Amino acid sequence: MATTSIQTVSFRNLEDDTVDVSAPTVFLVGENGQGKSNFLDALYTLSYGASFRGGTDLEAAKLGTKAWSLRRQSNDDTGLDDELVVAWDEGKKLLKENGKAIPDRKYLVDKTPAVVFCHGDMEFAQGEPERRRFFFDQTAGLVSLAYIDALRSYRRALKARNAALKEKMLDVLDILDIQLATYGTELIGGRKDLIQGFENMFSERYEQVSRLGSKVGLEYRPSWPAECSSDEINDRLLASREREVMFGTTLSGPHRDRFVFIDDHGDFSARASTGQLRLLALTLRIVQAEYCSGMSGKLPLLLLDDVLLELDPEKRRRFMENLPAARKAVFTFLPGEPYGDYRSADTAVYWVEHGRLSNTAGV
C-alpha cells in the first residue's frame, strides 16, 4: 500500500491539517523547533503506535489539549483505499483500520515497517548495552511477530521474578524460573539468527560509507550460553537462586546480553572517533532497513531526521548512495543545507513553520 496523505489533529505542535505525502520522496525544510521532527514522529507513530521521541501519550498532545489523532490514507495498485487511525483520548490508545479496532500494536509494525534515523541513534554506537539491545530487538521484531511475543513474555516473567526475589517469595520461583528459561532461550535463538544475517551486511555497508580500510564486525555475547537448552538454563537459575535472593534481582539472562562492535584491535566503539561512531549509527539503520525488506519482503518507510547535517560532503554523497530501497523516504533539512543536491523530479518539498507544512515545489 502506498501512503497518500497524513491527517494530524492536536498532535504536538502540528497544525490540524491533511498533508499530501504521495510522492516517493518528501523533504521537510525549516528552522529548528518548527515541527519537522514532529511530522516524522506522526509517521512513526502510525507505524509503531508509539513515539520514537519517548515520553507519554499525553505529552504528544498539543498544549492545552488532552487528546490527539493521526490518520493515514493509502491505496494499492488496484485503487483499493485503506485508512489507518492511531489516536489517544481520555487516557486510552485507539487503533483502527478501516473503522475496525486493531487489538495489538504489533499489527502496525507488520503492516507498515518504519526505520527512523535520528540523533539518538548515537546511543547504539557508544551508549549503554540496553540501547543496543533495544535496536536489535526492534530489528528482529520488524521481521518476526513471534519474536515480539517472546520478548513481551520474557519481560513479564522477568518483572514477576524480580518482584518475587525482592520480596523473598520463594514458593513461586520454580514456575517463574521455567518461564524465564523458556522465553529467554527463544530470545537467544532469535538474536543468534538475526546476527547471522545482519553481521556481514553491516560490515560491508560500513566500509562502503566510512572507507575505513579495515573490517568492523559485530559480535553477540549472550549472558546465558547460547547452546544451552531451557532445562539447562533452569538448572543454572536454581543454582544461582541464593545469590539472586540476596541481591533481590535476576543477575543473568537476555536482559543482560551484549552486542559488541569489533575490529582487529578489539572493541571498536571504545576507540572510534565521533565521526566514525556517527557513521556506525547511520549504517545500523541502513542495514536495519535492508534486513527488514530482505527477510519480510516488505519495503520499509524511511524517516531521516537531520542525519546529513554533521557529515562532510563526500560522506553525505556516499550515505545517500547507500540508502536502501524504501516504500517512501521522508527527510528533514535546515534551510541552509544543500537539499537541492539530493532532490529529484518526483520529490515533494514542504516548508515547515510553526507546525504548518506549506508546499514549496518552487524552492
User: Is the pLDDT confidence value at 359 over 60?
Assistant: yes
Taking the C-alpha atoms of residue 272 and residue 269, their distance in angstroms, rounded to an integer, is 5
Determine the pLDDT at residue 147. 97
pLDDT band for position 90 (cuts 50, 70, 90): confident
Q: For cell 572507507, what's the residue? A: 211
Label each residue of 264-301 as H, E or C.
CCEECCCCCCHHHHHHHHHHHHHHHHHHHHHHHCCCCE
Taking the C-alpha atoms of residue 47 and residue 143, their distance in angstroms, rounded to an integer, is 14
- What is the average pLDDT across 302-315? 89
pTM: 0.93
Q: Among 11, 18, 8, 15, which Cα is nearest to 30's?
A: 15
> Mind listing the pLDDT tens digit for each residue in 130-179?
999 999 999 999 999 999 999 999 999 999 999 999 999 999 999 999 99
Joined together, the cell numbers standing for residue 242 give 541464593
Determine the pLDDT at residue 181. 98
Which sequence spans correspond to the domains of the chain? Answer: 1-112+327-363, 128-295
- CATH architecture for the domain at 128-295: Up-down Bundle (1.20)
Q: Which CATH number fits domain 1-112+327-363: 3.40.50.970, 3.40.50.300, 3.30.450.40, 3.40.50.720?
A: 3.40.50.300
Joined together, the cell numbers standing for residue 262 give 569489533
User: Is the pLDDT confidence value at 362 over 50?
Assistant: no
